[in-house]
Structure 1
Amino acid sequence: MQPVAVVTGVGRRLGRYLTDQLLDQGYRVFGQYHTSRVSASGESSLHLTQVDFRDSQALERWCQQILALTDRVDLLINNASLYQPDADTAADGMVQLTQCHQIHLQAPYLLMMHLNGRLQHAQGQIVNLTDIYIHHPNEDYSLYCATKAGLDSLTQSWARSLAPAVRVNSIEPGPILFLDEHSAEYRQQILARTLLQVEGGLEPIWQALWMLINNPYMTGARIPVDGGRSVAKL
């Protein structure tokens, strides 16, 4: 039977890459994007839906669409992320905090609650994408780090509460893919404090995910994929 994956944040970068790899492995993928849409042309196994996770009702409608179309979910990947430096004012900061909470905590929670029955039926698994900064927060990205740390806490709680039927793990990316706005100086500074001193790229995250998919004896694991940055001086 064709395995089914639900993936958030498929419009660009890591989410798009992971989606392509899952399709190559024969998965049927239900993908959420916000603004950057990946093309589904010619791909019958890819179901794309625009969902703004700041709207809980839109998220619930998406869950109902998934439930109507499949009786199983083998894999839920919570990848959607809002990576922004902290706002300069309290008013803007409160807006940003709310959005980080909605994307990093509320959306994964609601997806788990709505899809839990399908995950249980398939004896599936949840993989949450967190960040190595949950252990050593970046003071300029405190709201991002705090809510990603909350997702890590949910991961550990779900690993306990959903066992033994559903496995729950997390992957903690490090400097895998710089943003276009990152200067050469910034990139050099980051890589100088990364043991392997290279930008990782997206494939190592897929390799970690594929290992988790295929290892039935792992739950509650935190997998850093960061070139050794988390054990170097951040």
Structure 2
Amino acid sequence: MLMFIMNLSGKRALVTGGAVRIGKAIVQALQAEGVDVVVHFFGSKQEAEMLSPFTVRADLGNLDEVSGLIEAAGPLDILINNASLFTKDTLAEAQPERALREMNVNLLAPMELTRCFAKQTTRGAVINLLDRRIRANDPAALPYSLSKKGLEELTKLTALELAPGIRVNGVAPGPILPPPGESVEHFADRAGNIPLQLFPTPENIAEAVIFLLKADFCTGQVMFVDGGQHLLGNGVFDQGV
């Protein structure tokens, strides 16, 4: 029987990259459930402080700054690895220094945060934010795709290692918001085919996060919130699909 923890009230969570965009929606959804949320930020200090009295700054591309983040934010019941760095680099464009920073932010920082999280609690939940690209091969975003596919594997491996006390799940969004400076219309033209013909919203992603936090019998799961794009694999940009 699927059991639910219906009340998250009184829990304490850390949301990385929680000041803006999808992270902001997740923070607000958690707060609506009565969770005390620590908002991690890198450059969005004002936005973070407007969301929560609990904030912490760190550059997730610098792993020396990552190690103390859990201690600074804790003690924690929930960890949301939301912060992400996205570059559209092919193999020819993927310079080692930039690719390594992307791997640090998207994969190695979540791994270190999860390790530190598990050292300070025996019961809790981790949610990793993935990408629908984990079900496709996108050579136009090679380091990013590698990092997110690695994060999916990390989700499964840590779900096994940290059970039964800590559950680890993932949420994989599709196209949500245009990058800064890009119009919604241009973004929609480049988003590819979406079977449901609807763009997910940040609030949709936050709803999935809340569901997985409450789903007491789910671990190692990945919930796609992408309008069905992951079903198309590499066919997202094929015409007539």
- Is it true that 1:62 corresponds to 2:65 in the alignment? no
Q: Secondary structure in 2 aligned to 1:30?
A: strand
Task: Give 1:80 deviation, angstroms.
Answer: 0.6
Partner of 1:4: 12
Distance 1:77 1:64, change over 3 A: same
**Could you tell me which amino acid in structure 2 is paired with residue 14 of structure 1?**
I
Question: How far off is 1:55 after superposition?
Answer: 1.9
Q: d(CA) in 2 for partners of 1:98 and 1:189?
A: 27
Residue 188 (structure 1) aligned with residue 197 (structure 2): no
* 1:56 partner amino acid: L
User: What is the aligned partner in structure 2 of residue 16 from structure 1?
Assistant: 24
1:93 maps to 95
Quickly say closer, same or farther: Cα 1:60–1:83, change in 2 above 3 A: same
Write out the 4+ residue segments of structure 1 that deviate beyond 4 Å after TM superposition: 87-90
The answer to which of 173-182 and 161-170 deviates more is 173-182
Distance change in 2, residues 1:185/1:64 (3 Å): closer
Superposition deviation, residue 184 in structure 1: 3.0
Matches within 5 A, 1:149-164: 149-164=149-164
Between the aligned partners of 2:43 and 2:222, the Cα distance in structure 1 is 29
> Could you tell me how far apart the structure 2 residues matched to 1:169 and 1:112 are?
12
Range moving further from structure 2, 54-63 or 194-203: 54-63
Q: Distance in 1 between matches of 2:121 and 2:12?
A: 10
Q: Which amino acid aligns with 1:58?
A: E
Q: Cα distance, 1:63 vs. partner?
A: 2.6
Task: State the Cα RMSD in Å.
Answer: 2.1
* Mapping 1:1-234, distance limit 5 Å: 2-37=10-45, 38-41=47-50, 43=52, 46-67=53-74, 70=75, 73-86=76-89, 93-120=95-122, 123-179=123-179, 180-181=181-182, 184-191=185-192, 193-232=193-232, 233-234=235-236
Deviation at residue 62 of structure 1 after TM alignment: 2.4
Consecutive unaligned residues of structure 2, counting only runs of 5 or more, are 1-8, 237-241
1:42: how far off? 8.3
Offset at residue 59 of structure 1 (A): 1.8
Query: Secondary structure of the residue that 2:126 maps to in structure 1?
Result: strand
Amino acid at match of 2:73: I
Contact 2:156 2:168 (C-alpha < 8 Å) held by counterparts: yes
| Structure-2 separation of matches of 1:42 and 1:16 | 8
Q: Post-superposition shift, 1:177? A: 2.0
> How many residue pairs get matched?
224
The amino acid of 2:49's aligned partner reads A
Q: CA shift at 1:151, angstroms?
A: 0.6
Q: Give the TM-score, by structure 1 length.
A: 0.88
**1:98-136 alpha-carbon deviations (Å, 9 max, x no partner):** 11111012111111111213341xx21111001110120
Task: Give me the whole-angstrom Cα distance separating, in 2, the residues matched to 1:185 and 1:2.
Answer: 42
> Do the aligned partners of residues 153 and 178 (structure 1) sit closer, same or farther apart at CA in structure 2, a change above 3 Å counting?
same
User: 1:151 and 1:42 mapped to 2: Cα distance?
Assistant: 27
Gaps of 5+ in 1: none
Give the SS at the match of 1:211.
helix
Question: SS where residue 218 of structure 2 aligns?
Answer: coil
- Give me the TM-score of the superposition, normalised by structure 2: 0.85
C-alpha distance after superposition, 1:201-223 (max 9, x if no partner): 11111111111111101001111
Q: Secondary structure, in 3 states, of the residue corresponding to 2:116?
A: helix
Partner-residue secondary structure (3-state), 1:40: helix
